[in-house]
Structures are given as structure tokens and as C-alpha cells.
Amino acid sequence: MRFIHTADWQIGKSFKQFGDKEGVVRQARLNVIEAIGRLAVSEGAADVLVAGDIYDSEAPGARTLREPLERMRQFPGINWRLLPGNHDPHQPKGVWDRVRETGLPDNVYLHLTPEPAILGTDAALLPAPLTRKSETSDLTEWMDAAETPPGRIRIGLAHGAIRGFDQSGEANNPVDPRRPILARLDYLALGDWHRTMSVGPAAWYAGTPEPDRAGGGQEEGHVLLVDVAGPGAEPKVEPRKVGAFRWLTMEEELSDASDLADLEIRLRNLFNLSSLVLRLRFRGALPLSARAELDRRLESLAASMFHLDVDLVGLSARPTLADFEAIDFGGVLRQAAERLKAMTNDAALAPAERLRAEDALVKLYLMQVGA
């Protein structure tokens, strides 16, 4: 039995931080469905199991509702098996009733009730759909007593957080880590955590196929290509990259101007800058001249990347005597610069206020140097 395990598409998710490029990121989440379909065809996987959160909300617009269905329709030889998650739970007159009313493609199956479903001639699927955002009970427990035809591979499909493993799940939907053993599962396909990882030989989180956050998630989007030789056999699981964007978080410590050239070289050597979403956090202290040079370099780097988010809270300005002399030879502007510098070191001020004073100090320096 060969199939693809994926989850957490969250179609319709908002990305306001990208401004006029938001539509590009939203479109990538639809394009990745086609990438999954092509992978399934090329690898001979007849089924794609989607472990919850196909949609980002319980009330997507009419177009958003149809868009993933139409992408799946393009691959008639692939069976797409969808499970409600905590973002799109199955509720009366909710998103999944609307999906059914639009008319499902023949190759798309909704698993809205906890009952076995036969997959071809080799396997049985045991789904655990969510009917609300948060459950305190383990919805996979029913799998223990579920009867399936003899000799069939048993595959569980669920959306929730493995108890005692981590606290990174989005909702309180516990899953017993012993479920593969208790329910005699040959594989447990999980969704909710946006990281591709194993929580046991036969239990995996697929992660998201198109990343949606810097830090805490995964850098690149993956799905899992799963092979199960037969009942009782340990599954062979292979992550496959399908996403278009890479989301990366980096922390850099700067102390003088000599650090800046090395930083720019390392950033420009990152792979596929045009599809990179980079969150760059700085620590340390720089003279005003170097701080101004950093701004110039970052402006150029931002133009080379899809998106650059810079966090300067941990980087302080450390004006030298030459910096102050460049601002003013003892006049009013020099006094203003000294007052701003005092504010940047004032622990009584909120961090945002100190950062604002530092930005003003750098701008004052740039104005005078430019003049």
C-alpha cells in the first residue's frame, strides 16, 4: 500500500504582512495541491490522505470553498480523502455541508464520521473527524475496537496533539501516543503540528505542504510518501518537498562595521532568494555610521528576497565621537542627538520608545551625513 500523507493546507489563510504580495502566497497554497497530485501520479500513490485543516476557517467564501476541490478534480486517478480539523470542524450547515452541496468531484471523499472506510483491496481507513475546534477527549479511541476485514492494512487518520510529546499543537485535541499499538494500526496519519516529524515508528505528522510562519514551524513544505508492505509491517516513510516558499528565521550579532560585509555575503548565498521569507533578528551594538550602512545593505537585500522582516529591538546604536561630530559641531542638533542617545539607554522607557529614539538618532545622522 503506497499513499501520500499531508495536512494543514489552511486554504484561505490571510497573509496581510506581505502587503500587495499577499495574493502570491495565497495562490501558492493552491498550487501546492497540484504539486501533491503530480507527486502522487509519478510515485504511483492511489490515495492522498489529508489529516485535517483543509480550510483555514469554518466559513470560507464561495470561491475559496471551491478552489481546492477544483485542483483535486484535475487528478481523476487519485483518491483525495479529507478529514475535518480544528480550523474546519464538521458542524451542521458548516463548511463540509457546503462542500457537499457544491457537488464533490468523483475522486474526493469526505470522512465526516468515525467509521471504517475501505481503501482499494489492501487497506481500511479509520478516521477521527473533529466536530468542534477543541475536544478534551481522545477522538481516536474508537479505533481500538473498530473491525476491519481480515488481512487489511489499518490506517488511522486524525488531527490533534500527541499527549506528553510536545505543546506545539494549535488546539486541545489529545491523541494517545499508544494509539497505533492499542488500535493495531499500521500507520497513524496526523495533522495539527506544522512540522514534519515522527512521533513513533508508525505515527507521523506530515507538517504543512506550504509553510506559513517563520520560526516554530518548518522551513520548507513537505508531504510524506508512505509505503506499508502489509499488516504488521513497519511503514517506510519518506518526506518529499512540494512547497514553493522557504520560511527562515536567523539571529545575528553585530559589533562593528566589519561584520556587515560578511552578513551580506552569507545572506546572498542563501538558496532561491526570490522565494525566501526571512525573519532577521539582530543583537549587539553598532556605531551610527555602521548602523546607517546596515540600513542601506538591508534595503538592497530586501529587494532580492520575496519578503524580509527585520527585528532591530536587540541592536543598539553606540555613537562614537566621530558620529556626533558628523551630526553637528556643537550646535542644537548635537544636543538633540545626545538627548536621543540618553533615551536609548533609559531603562525606565518601554522598549518601543527606546527603539523609536534610536531610529530618530540614526535618521538624524543620515540627514547630516547626506547634507
Beta bridge partners of 187: 155
Cα 259 from Cα 256, distance rounded (Å): 6
Instruction: Report the C-alpha gap between 178 and 181 in whole angstroms.
Output: 5
The third-level CATH classification (topology) of the domain covering 2-244 is Purple Acid Phosphatase; chain A, domain 2 (3.60.21)
Helix (H) or strand (E) holding 222: strand 220-227
**H or E element in which residue 22 lies:** helix 22-43
**pLDDT in 10s for each residue of the chain, 371 residues:** 999 999 999 999 999 999 999 999 999 999 999 999 999 999 999 999 999 999 999 999 999 999 999 999 999 999 999 999 999 999 999 999 999 999 999 999 999 999 999 999 999 999 999 999 988 899 999 999 999 999 999 999 999 998 765 544 444 789 999 999 999 999 999 999 999 999 999 999 999 999 988 766 689 999 999 999 999 999 999 999 999 999 999 999 999 889 999 999 999 999 899 999 999 999 998 888 888 899 899 999 999 999 999 998 888 877 777 777 777 656 788 788 888 888 888 889 998 888 888 888 888 877 777 64
Give dist(CA 252, CA 244) in Å, integer. 26
C-alpha cell at 250: 536567523
Query: What separation, in Å, do the N-terminal and C-terminal C-alpha atoms of the chain show?
Result: 71
Pick the closest to residue 19 from 311, 302, 353 (CA basis). Answer: 302
Domain definitions of the chain by residue range:
2-244, 255-370
319 touches 341 (CB < 8 A): yes
3-state DSSP assignment of residue 64: helix
Q: What is the DSSP letter of 235?
A: P
Buried b (16+ CB within 10 A) or exposed e, 326-354: bbbeeeebbeebeebbebbeeeeeeeeeb
Strands 123-128 and 307-317: unpaired
How far is 126 from 140, CA to CA, in rounded Å? 9
Helices (H), 226-287: 258-268
